[in-house]
Structure 1
């Protein structure tokens, strides 16, 4: 600590040889006991962190309460206000003899032992500022669990859990000085922020979703971890084309591919997102090239976030097929869209009951319905939407809602005028959309799926 940032208390404690918290605590306790025997109310010795604040100029905003001030004033024979002001503001007449005599004194063994005890005390205090590893293990387990159950948990519940975990991380960052633990905590903060970005988007809140995605990328940059930065840039790319900026989405998705340490799953996801962005630009050749690139990621490379944590961070064959179906719809290719959507739904159907992510399978069914509407198969579309109409309102996220709106728009085309089946299906879609959480939140975002 430089001279300008020291308090008078720092100078006096150093001069008395009680600079370390342990030595200060012993002297404070002795003085407090004396005052207590005289009938005064006193407070226990402050913890190491509060003591360090007292030693730093402007380290505290207000003076300690009377029970603490009384002990300090007896220890140093100064008003507490004088003790906590910077040394630079102390009148020269009040300063004691310089801490460093003109000629060095001869050291003796007792002084050496005192210095050694001070060093041991300081190192012990530093070691104490380290979290129990079990705390970090539990935090990691909670994040993995939340990611893996993301698709089968209502968005509002995911938001509450992820927000709580992020707050835990932020608090714990102030409770440890271990570089290794800081790395683990920043990684956890990146995961929690990424999940908050995903669920904010599902709830139709694009602005906070983008903010959370940027935060996740920043946390990843802090620890130089490529996969979490790639995921975050992919999320920002997805939000960009959903917000009507497909060229920016292509740029972000391609930039995400340049981060190191990515496995096949991460690259498959990024190519699928890039394909969607090209689809919004009606760039057929580039979109199909990106679809092929997504399907070609079979090298066997893995990364911890996308493959081991997985869940919301994963991107398996079913999700790839579902995304490719959406791209085909953007390119007005209903045949390709139906093929990919059917593949996705078949893969989901093969999973055990309770493990099918509604947030993904629902939109896949809507894409299949829209592909059939584009081929004038309204009854087939109605069949595809039977299970979708049973989805509870709290699960009706942005992706599902915008697909439903796009399907509804398809039903307004001239060939369906006068069709009772088309009119009935359109009415069902309108009723379904009216109860979504995105509507309750007042979301006014552009369509993700263009009609």
Structure 2
């Protein structure tokens, strides 16, 4: 089997995980912006798309079509797009055979399923469920910008399927899948520093959960609204949302643990030490073995493993001024991560726990220990330096900016390194420089 794409266009399409449907939508939208001739805009049929990506074009298409393609793929002219991909190019990653197989399988299934009228194949829903589940489970290993793009593609696909079926059970399942995709969009938006976008998307996910009568999704979305409010400097609203989320029925132990941890953080931000400590203790209780279909059944970004709980509670301990408790919990989070396979370690949890540990040591006067604690974060790739890590790193930098540290070599070096770390982050590169909560 030939693993090499015949055109650069095919390679770029594969890289961006475009199906014909998503390519056509982007082509039409771009034509509206670039050509703006209404019904006289160029179009792209599926046969034409296959000829373009399969290297079967004998001459370049019309001038308007060329303008649209060059606008869709900035930096490439049409001669390059319809030519063979370069042997080596930093802009074009190696061809991913597995991804090509998966994309081909999706396209073939879409073609086979296109004859459905009043209903769609249950297999179609199963495949969409699998893809959303995979994205949730691999969330920690993918850049937030990539997750956002893929979750939006899945949301659009779920909505298209909703338009094709009148079967109530299928409609409900697709509502749930739409809501899951939007919940992942909200998480990605938050991690990219867009609190307003994340809030709107979380509310939308909650509406999907309400429409589908699926309380775990409603609870997850309300929990997301709670921590977004917390990071926006609205701890009272965060507590209200966390309590609302906990009031939903049908939640498993993982869901309740996540919500209690969020509630504890908001209480700590308000200075309610006793209530915050009580919420921490409740979040760490074993529970009754209850499960639900989202937090446990799908898991991944919808889950809340022990290391993430320990990391979150270390932040709460810092808020209420208990440095020893914060250090113990941050060390526990890092220890639990070290027991995992490297591919299963969440950079967000690693970086956040490391920053919390550093701040706890600074509070006790151990600058050298803080520098040691920060070592793991420097290796986190820029596209995985997300809001939670950046907020905590900023707290360390602000602490090191106190007059007592002025002129000292190591604190100055750490402050500068944190600034460089932040400048290379995904939110900063996207222009989201203001990262909310100052606690």
Which of the five TM-score ranges fits, normalised by the shorter chain?
Answer: 0.7 to 0.9
In the aligned structure 2, how far is the partner of 1:194 from the partner of 1:273? 17
- Partner residue in 2 for 1:336: 325
In the aligned structure 2, how far is the partner of 1:283 from the partner of 1:258? 21
TM-score for both structures, normalised by structure 2: 0.72
Deviations 1:31-78 (A, max 9, x none): xxxxxxxxxxxxxxxxxxxxxxxxxxxxxxx9xxxxxxxxxxxxxxxx
| 1:421-432 aligned within 5 A | 421-432=410-421
- Partner residue in 1 for 2:268: 279
Contact 1:203 1:437 in 2 (8 A): yes
RMSD: 1.5
The more displaced of 160-169 and 438-447 is 438-447
Contact 1:268 1:297 in 2 (8 A): no
1:166 is aligned to 2:166: no
C-alpha displacement of 1:157: 0.9
C-alpha displacement of 1:339: 0.4
- Partner residue in 2 for 1:112: none
Which one of 292, 295, 299 corresponds to residue 288 of structure 2? 299
- Partner residue in 2 for 1:138: 127
In the aligned structure 2, how far is the partner of 1:302 from the partner of 1:345? 26
Which one of 424, 436, 441 corresponds to residue 430 of structure 2? 441
Contact 1:151 1:360 in 2 (8 A): no
C-alpha displacement of 1:446: 4.8
- Partner residue in 2 for 1:406: 395
Which one of 335, 341, 350 corresponds to residue 352 of structure 1? 341
Which has the greater radius of gyration?
Answer: 1
- Partner residue in 2 for 1:376: 365
C-alpha displacement of 1:440: 2.1
Which one of 275, 289, 304 corresponds to residue 315 of structure 1? 304
C-alpha displacement of 1:370: 1.2
- Partner residue in 1 for 2:246: 257
Contact 1:203 1:438 in 2 (8 A): yes
1:367 is aligned to 2:359: no
- Partner residue in 1 for 2:220: 231
TM-score for both structures, normalised by structure 1: 0.71
C-alpha displacement of 1:297: 4.3
**For 1:387, what is the secondary structure of its paired residue?**
helix
Which one of 295, 303, 326 corresponds to residue 315 of structure 2? 326
In the aligned structure 2, how far is the partner of 1:365 from the partner of 1:449? 18
Contact 1:326 1:449 in 2 (8 A): no
Contact 2:387 2:435 in 1 (8 A): no
Deviations 1:249-301 (A, max 9, x none): 00110011111100100000000000000111011011101101111242101
Deviations 1:220-241 (A, max 9, x none): 0001111110000000000001
C-alpha displacement of 1:417: 2.5
1:153 is aligned to 2:129: no
In the aligned structure 1, how far is the partner of 2:212 from the partner of 2:316? 34
**For 1:273, what is the secondary structure of its paired residue?**
helix
Unaligned runs of 5+ in 1: 1-61, 63-125
The more displaced of 412-421 and 159-168 is 412-421
1:209 is aligned to 2:224: no
Contact 1:243 1:445 in 2 (8 A): no
Deviations 1:380-424 (A, max 9, x none): 111111121111111111111111111000101233223211111
In the aligned structure 2, how far is the partner of 1:141 from the partner of 1:449? 39
Contact 2:192 2:387 in 1 (8 A): yes
Q: Number of matched residues?
A: 326
C-alpha displacement of 1:445: 3.8
**For 1:305, what is the secondary structure of its paired residue?**
coil
C-alpha displacement of 1:444: 4.7
In the aligned structure 1, how far is the partner of 2:438 from the partner of 2:285? 25
